[in-house]
């Protein structure tokens, strides 16, 4: 079974969806490690409840980003992690780190990229007045929210949506899409050709 790590900073509802998909054998992988950059991330409770090893790595405990990421890579290598899933991880990884896991890092973004990149995608989409937003799962490259797109799905914006109500509907789609994308990656069904990802079935 392939070993994966999930990186989180917050609630961890996507982590939960991945844990559930693994339990139901919809994703054939071992979740060997959950990494958080915040001690209080609720995601850590979810991982512990599922018996998954957790590690908190706080950047402020390291003299530089390089040293922080070196430690991260050492941990990943020692546990033979083959792919990394970013699920609400609020840090940007350096090109050096990304190169070590080239085309093996997935991210999920709560908008239809390339619209509404960045930390406040749901709020920004609402403020812009779009009628449709959505979810993007993409491979991570050196740009922010910029790598080749694996899966996307639209979500309608309703007239009385708040950031919270819209994000909840987006999350529901995320929880279904992310396990699918992880399976495609682990089963080596993704062929990256420049910006495009071909899915071979």
Annotated catalytic sites, by residue? Answer: 109
Give contact residues for ligand GRF (rule: CB under 6 A).
8, 10-14, 87-88, 108-110, 171, 174
Are the CB atoms for 157 and 192 separated by under 8 Å?
no
Nearer to ligand GRF, 70 or 120 (CB): 120
Nearer to ligand GRF, 72 or 122 (CB): 122
Are the CB atoms for 15 and 8 separated by under 8 Å?
yes
Task: Please give the distance of CA 74 from its chain centroid, rounded to a whole number.
Answer: 20
* Phi, psi at 48, each rounded to 5°: -60, -40
Nearer to ligand GRF, 104 or 109 (CB): 109
To ligand GRF, the closest distance from the beta carbon of 12 in angstroms equals: 5
Are the CB atoms for 86 and 107 separated by under 8 Å?
yes
* 196 vs 199: CA distance, rounded Å: 10
Beta bridge partners of 139: 106
Beta bridge partners of 109: 136
Task: Please give the distance of CA 37 from its chain centroid, rounded to a whole number.
Answer: 14
To ligand GRF, the closest distance from the beta carbon of 72 in angstroms equals: 18
- The full DSSP string for 44-63 is HHHHHHTT--EEE--GGGSS
Nearer to ligand GRF, 81 or 108 (CB): 108
To ligand GRF, the closest distance from the beta carbon of 127 in angstroms equals: 17
To ligand GRF, the closest distance from the beta carbon of 201 in angstroms equals: 25
């Amino acid at each position: 079974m392939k070993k994966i790590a999930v990186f989180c900073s917050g609630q961890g509802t996507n982590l939960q969806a991945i844990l559930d998909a693994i339990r139901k054998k919809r994703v054939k992988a071992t979740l060997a490690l959950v990494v958080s950059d915040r001690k209080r991330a609720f995601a850590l409770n979810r991982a512990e409840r599922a018996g998954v090893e957790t590690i908190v790595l706080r950047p402020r405990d390291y003299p530089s980003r390089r040293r922080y990421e070196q430690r991260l890579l050492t941990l990943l290598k020692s546990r033979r992690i083959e792919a990394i899933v970013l699920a609400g991880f609020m840090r940007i990884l350096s090109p050096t780190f990304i190169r070590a896991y080239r085309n093996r890092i997935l991210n999920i973004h709560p908008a239809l990229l390339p619209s509404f990149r960045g930390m406040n995608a749901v709020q920004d989409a609402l403020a812009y007045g779009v009628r449709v937003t959505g979810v993007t799962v993409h491979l991570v490259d050196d740009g922010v929210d910029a790598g080749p797109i694996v899966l996307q799905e639209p979500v309608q914006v309703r007239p009385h949506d708040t950031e919270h109500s819209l994000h909840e509907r987006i999350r529901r789609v995320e929880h279904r899409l992310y396990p699918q994308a992880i399976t495609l990656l682990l089963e080596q069904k993704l062929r990256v050709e420049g910006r495009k990802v071909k899915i071979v079935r």
